Amino acid sequence: MQLKDKVAVITGSASGIGKEIAQEYAKEGAKVVIADLVLEAAVKTAEEIKAAGGQAIGVAMNVTDEAQVDKGIADAVAAFGGIDILISNAGIQIISPVVDLSLDNWKKMLAIHLDGAFLTTRACMREMVKGGKGGSIIYMGSVHSHEGSPLKAPYVAAKHGLVGLAKVVAKEGAKDKIRANVICPGFVRTPLVDKQIPEQAKELNISEEDVIRKVMLKDTVDGEFTTVADVARTAIFLAAFPTNALTGQSIVVSHGWFMQ
């Protein structure tokens, strides 16, 4: 077991990539905190993990809300005694050309991806420093942390921003053995992607099949989607890494769509 007794807070983990990471972390011995918008959904995921033999709790947390973040992290510490790992994963997608994008939607995207990453980092880092055992902070970036795509301006801007945040947290956290890294997946079939396939088809006036083959997977080496399992495997590797040697980095898991 690579994460035995490590306490891992995973935001947006009632669905998709975050849920898979939570399940795989629990199998590796971690005590996982399912932090998501709706308490019932978070608790349901935690119950599924417990039924499979893992340790988990569910907490309600809108990552853009300072008080909810601080309370969720305090509840996690009360339940499990500290924080060792944060996966800042909660996210949404909004499809729109820049010229049609409302300021509200721009702000909403930056709030969930960047304010959320900051607030959860601050709360967890404080606990990691207090605990004195170091920690691992992992941001869910994207190939869009390095590349741009039409119709995704605020998403691409926010995902690039996470790389900058990780570099600063890596430098500030080093003295306390707190590492910060970014995972940058290619397209993964989750509700977030399934929703945007018809939206992109409409905006681009092409079929849904063409959105998949000619937009999403066009630049991969093999025309394949990245999977939730691929991302979870990378998240285990990063969290289990034992020294400060691997910090301030972004790892791209995208079937070669983007090569750094």
Among 191, 198, 223, 256, binds ligand NAD (CB under 6 A): 191
Interface residues for ligand NAD in 40-99 (CB under 6 A)? 61-64, 89-92
What is the signed CA dihedral for 129, 71, 158, 135, rounded to 10 degrees? 20
Residue that is written with structure tokens 């039924």 in the block: 51
Token pair belonging to 121: 């980092």
112 scored as a contact of ligand NAD (CB under 6 A): yes
Angle at 12 between CA 50 and CA 216, to 5 degrees: 120
3-state DSSP call for residue 116? helix
Could you tell me which stretch among 74-82, 166-174, 188-196, 240-248 binds ligand NAD (CB under 6 A)? 188-196
Binding residue (CB under 6 A) for ligand NAD from 7, 9, 10, 17: 17
Q: Rounded to 5 degrees, what angle do the CA atoms 216, 219, 223 make?
A: 70
Check residue 98 and report its DSSP letter: G
Question: Residue 25 catalytic?
Answer: no
12 binds ligand NAD (CB under 6 A): yes
Spatial CB neighbours of 3, under 8 Å, sequence gap ≥ 6? 25, 28, 29, 30, 85, 236, 239, 240
Counting contacts by CB under 6 A, is residue 190 touching ligand NAD?
A: yes
Does the protein bind ligand NAD through residue 204 (CB under 6 A)? no
**Min dist. Cβ of residue 253 to ligand NAD (A):** 9
Identify residues 25-44 at the interface with ligand NAD (CB under 6 A): 36-37
The contact set with ligand NAD (CB under 6 A) reads: 11-12, 14-18, 36-37, 61-64, 89-92, 112, 140, 142, 185, 187-188, 190-193
Residue positions annotated with a catalytic role:
155
